[in-house]
Amino acid sequence: MIKMQGVYKTYPNGVTALNGLDIHIDQGEFVYVVGPSGAGKSTFTKLIYREEKPTTGTVLVNDMDTSTMKQRRIPMLRRQIGVVYQDFRLLPTLTVYENVAFALEVIEENPQNIRRRVMDVLDQVRLKNKARFLPDELSGGEQQRVSIARAIVNHPKVLIADEPTGNLDPETSWEIMHILEEINTAGTTVLMATHSQEIVNTIRKRVIAIEDGMVVRDQSNGEYGYEM
C-alpha cells in the first residue's frame, strides 16, 4: 500500500532530510518509525500525505503516485489518510463533536450520516460524553483522542501518527496506544513515529529505524534499539 523507491528529499534550504529510502508497507501493518532527532522521520511521513514531495524517487500510496499527482487529486489522496500530530491541532473554537464532524462535512455527507458516524468514532475513543466540550476543557490525552477520532472518521486506509504520545504522560500514552492498536486490528495501516523506548519495546511491532535519511534497520517484532 505504501511503496517508496529511491526517495531523496532536499529542502529548499539545502538540507537533505532523506537520502535514498526504499520502503514497502502492506495494508494492515503496524509500523514504528524510530531514529534520532533530525533523522528524517517526519519528512518520511509527510511524503505519504503529500505535505512534501520527494526531490527524486517515487512514492506510491495505494497505487497513486504522490510525486507526480496533480494538485486537484490531492484531496482524494488525503481522504485515504488520517494524520495525528504530537500537538493535537484541534480547532479551538469548535466543540469536540464539531472538530470531528468538520472532516466529514467537507466531503458533503448527509447530516444524519454525519451524526451517526461522529458519535460512533467518539464512542470508539471513549469520548461520547464529552461531545459538547471545547478542546481547552479537555486533558491532553482526551484532546489526542479527539484528534484520533477526527483522523479516522473518514475510514482512512492508513493512519499516520507523528509522535502521538510525545506530549502525554505514560498512563495516558498507553490509552492512546490501545486505541491505535484497535484501529489497526480493524484493518487500518498504522504508521507511528516515536521516541518512546518503552512503548516500542512493550507493544512489539515492525520497527523501521531511520538515521541521516536512510533506513538502517527494518525488523518485524523489533525493538527500539537506542539508549534513552
Ligand X SMILES: Nc1ncnc2c1ncn2[C@@H]1O[C@H](COP(=O)(O)OP(=O)(O)OP(=O)(O)O)[C@@H](O)[C@H]1O
Q: Which CB, 38 or 170, lies closer to ligand X?
A: 38
By CB under 6 A, residue 43 contacts ligand X: yes
Q: Does 43 bind Mg ion (CB under 5 A)?
A: no
Count residues contacting ligand X (CB under 6 A)? Answer: 12
Residue 189 touches which of ligand X, Mg ion, none (Cβ within 5-8 Å per kind)? none
Residue 40 touching ligand X (CB under 6 A): yes
Cα–Cα distance for residue pair 228/70, rounded to 1 Å: 42
- Name the one residue in this structure whose C-alpha cell is 476543557: 137
165 binding Mg ion? (CB under 5 A)? no
48 binds ligand X (CB under 6 A): no
Long-range contact pairs involving 131-139 (C-beta distance under 8 Å, separation at least 24)? 131/95, 131/96, 131/97, 132/95, 132/96, 132/97, 133/95, 133/96, 134/92, 134/93, 134/94, 134/95, 134/96, 135/88, 135/90, 135/91, 135/92, 135/94, 135/96, 135/99, 136/92, 138/96, 139/172
- Out of 4, 17, 122, 208, the only residue in the binding site for ligand X (CB under 6 A) is 17
Q: Is 11 in the site for ligand X (CB under 6 A)?
A: yes
Q: With CB under 5 A as the contact rule, which of the stretches 10-18, 39-47, 99-107, 126-134 interacts with Mg ion?
A: 39-47
Please tell me whether residue 39 binds ligand X under the rule CB under 6 A. Answer: yes
Q: Output the smallest distance, CB 53 to ligand X, in A.
A: 12
Q: Grid coordinates representing 194?
A: 516515536
Determine how many CB atoms are found less than 10 A away from the CB of residue 141.
Answer: 17
**Near Mg ion by CB under 5 A: residue from 42, 143, 154, 184:** 42
92 secondary structure, DSSP code:
T
Stretch that binds ligand X, among 9-17, 70-78, 132-140, 220-228 (CB under 6 A): 9-17
Smallest Cα–Cα separation from 41: which of 208, 170, 183? 208
Hey, what's the torsion of the CAs at 181, 82, 108, 89, to 10 degrees? 110
Our finding on whether 161 is near ligand X (CB under 6 A) is no
Site residues for ligand X per CB under 6 A: 11, 13, 15, 17, 35, 37-43
Site residues for Mg ion per CB under 5 A: 41-42
